[in-house]
């Protein structure tokens, strides 16, 4: 059976965006007349038949889910769980999700995802942080794309994130309300947009309580490749606000190796409410991310983008909630 020609196919042949093709074929403003005529001629040559006015993503459509390899290690299984939830959300619409690990060399050399090269997917969900150059490269492929749990600083993609800023603001205030004034932040600021948001939430909570930010208590938790690596500061705080449960888990192991007990000697809060928060002993008080809600929102955005390539870009923040466990004591 002959494959149906899509606007993305026309865009790829002419080296323009899918939005430009859509505007030209719909007779809308924003496209020069020579470009409009060229697009219409190409569409006719390729046998493009247009789409119904009330277009819906087709049953059986396959979506590529891209995750950078640094988030797929044994320490970063949060994203594998998020992927499973995306697949479950797609299934509700009789759609499918295929996972592809984006390798460091693919990102650096701007290698097209293999799922796209093979024609196996018609749209993409990018999970987690990618370089700005690679995101722009993905956007220019002309496929419907949604970014999940990270965002493009230039605002060129539909986006779904957790509320890292207010979530960490709340977790830091939780410590302050229990008498802590010496609070460190554990997370490599700038490594991901999520960590950066959480850092600024921490800063705001300190500022509003009149607590001076100490730069020696803003501690990296990973190396340039995303592997967890951390050291204790020379002068210890009474509490740590950790950017994620995995970082908190390894911090607690480091504290224990130095003869410090949680929560007796040191209080710890974190973010995600994933496996590590319940695996650790004691269990970690954390901010629970609504992964199911984020997955659903990303699929809803993608379906809306497929149905209308010209729709305004959408930025969704999915809230979570605080889960009180065993890792904090009052001072």
- Could you tell me if 83 and 65 are in contact, meaning their C-beta atoms sit under 8 angstroms apart? yes
The per-residue pLDDT for 225 is 82
The pairing of beta strand 285-288 with beta strand 321-323: antiparallel
The per-residue pLDDT for 22 is 76
- Could you tell me if 125 and 66 are in contact, meaning their C-beta atoms sit under 8 angstroms apart? yes
Whether residue 298 is found in the same domain as residue 157: yes
Residue with tokens 């959480």: 198
| Three-state DSSP state, 115 | helix
Whether residue 127 is found in the same domain as residue 190: no
129 domain-assigned: yes
Q: Quick one: which of 212, 213, 204, 280 has its CA closest to 244?
A: 280
- Output DSSP code: residue 57: P
Whether residue 97 is found in the same domain as residue 176: no
φ/ψ of residue 54, rounded to 5: -100, 60
Whether residue 280 is found in the same domain as residue 169: yes
The span from the CA of 209 to the CA of 314, in Å, is 34
Whether residue 184 is found in the same domain as residue 283: yes
- Could you tell me if 285 and 259 are in contact, meaning their C-beta atoms sit under 8 angstroms apart? no
Whether residue 175 is found in the same domain as residue 207: yes
327 domain-assigned: no
Whether residue 296 is found in the same domain as residue 156: yes
Name residues of the chain where pLDDT drops below 70. Answer: 1-3, 28-30, 50-59, 74-76
Whether residue 13 is found in the same domain as residue 42: yes
The per-residue pLDDT for 2 is 54
All residues at 6 or more sequence positions from 203 whose CB lies less than 8 Å from its CB, including other chains: 213
First to last CA, the chain: 71
**How many domains would you assign to the chain?**
3
Whether residue 171 is found in the same domain as residue 188: yes
17 domain-assigned: yes
52 domain-assigned: no
Range of the domain at 199: 164-289
220 domain-assigned: yes
Whether residue 190 is found in the same domain as residue 267: yes
The per-residue pLDDT for 53 is 39
The per-residue pLDDT for 1 is 42
- Could you tell me if 64 and 32 are in contact, meaning their C-beta atoms sit under 8 angstroms apart? no
The span from the CA of 330 to the CA of 40, in Å, is 69
The span from the CA of 137 to the CA of 325, in Å, is 43
The span from the CA of 81 to the CA of 295, in Å, is 10
Residue with tokens 């209308």: 308
The span from the CA of 241 to the CA of 229, in Å, is 16
153 domain-assigned: yes
pLDDT in tens, 253-270: 999 999 999 999 999 999
Whether residue 189 is found in the same domain as residue 258: yes
The per-residue pLDDT for 313 is 92
The per-residue pLDDT for 32 is 84
331 domain-assigned: no
Whether residue 198 is found in the same domain as residue 278: yes
Structure tokens at 156: 């060129």
The span from the CA of 254 to the CA of 280, in Å, is 13
The per-residue pLDDT for 54 is 37
For residue 176, give the CATH number of its domain.
Answer: 3.40.50.2300
329 domain-assigned: no
């Amino acid at each position: 059976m002959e494959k149906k020609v899509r606007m993305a196919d026309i865009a790829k042949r002419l080296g323009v965006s899918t939005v430009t093709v859509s505007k030209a074929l719909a007779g809308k403003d924003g496209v020069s007349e020579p470009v409009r005529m060229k697009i219409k001629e190409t569409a006719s040559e390729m046998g493009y038949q247009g789409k119904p006015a009330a277009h819906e993503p087709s049953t059986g459509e396959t979506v590529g889910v891209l995750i950078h390899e640094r988030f797929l290690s044994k320490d970063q299984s949060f994203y594998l769980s998020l992927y499973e939830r995306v697949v479950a959300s797609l299934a509700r619409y009789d759609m499918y999700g295929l996972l592809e690990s984006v390798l460091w060399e693919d990102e650096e050399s701007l290698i097209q995802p293999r799922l796209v090269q093979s024609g196996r997917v018609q749209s993409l969900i990018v999970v987690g942080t990618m370089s700005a150059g690679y995101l722009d490269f993905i956007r220019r492929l002309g496929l419907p794309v949604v970014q999940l749990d990270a965002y493009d600083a230039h605002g060129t993609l539909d986006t779904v994130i957790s509320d890292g800023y207010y979530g960490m603001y709340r977790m830091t205030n939780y410590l302050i309300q229990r008498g802590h004034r010496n609070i460190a932040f554990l997370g490599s600021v700038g490594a991901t947009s999520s960590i950066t948001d959480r850092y600024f939430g921490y800063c705001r909570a300190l500022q509003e309580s009149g607590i001076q930010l100490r730069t020696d208590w803003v501690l990296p938790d990973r190396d340039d490749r995303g592997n967890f690596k951390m050291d204790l500061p020379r002068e210890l705080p009474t509490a740590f606000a950790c950017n994620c449960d995995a970082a908190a888990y390894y911090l607690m192991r480091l504290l224990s190796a130095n003869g410090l007990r949680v929560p007796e000697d040191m209080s710890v809060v974190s973010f995600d409410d994933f496996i590590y928060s319940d695996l650790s002993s004691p269990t970690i008080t954390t901010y629970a991310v609504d992964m199911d809600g984020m997955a659903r929102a990303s699929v809803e955005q993608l379906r809306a983008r497929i149905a209308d390539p010209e729709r305004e870009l959408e930025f969704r923040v999915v809230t979570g909630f605080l889960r009180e466990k065993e890792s904090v004591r009052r001072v």
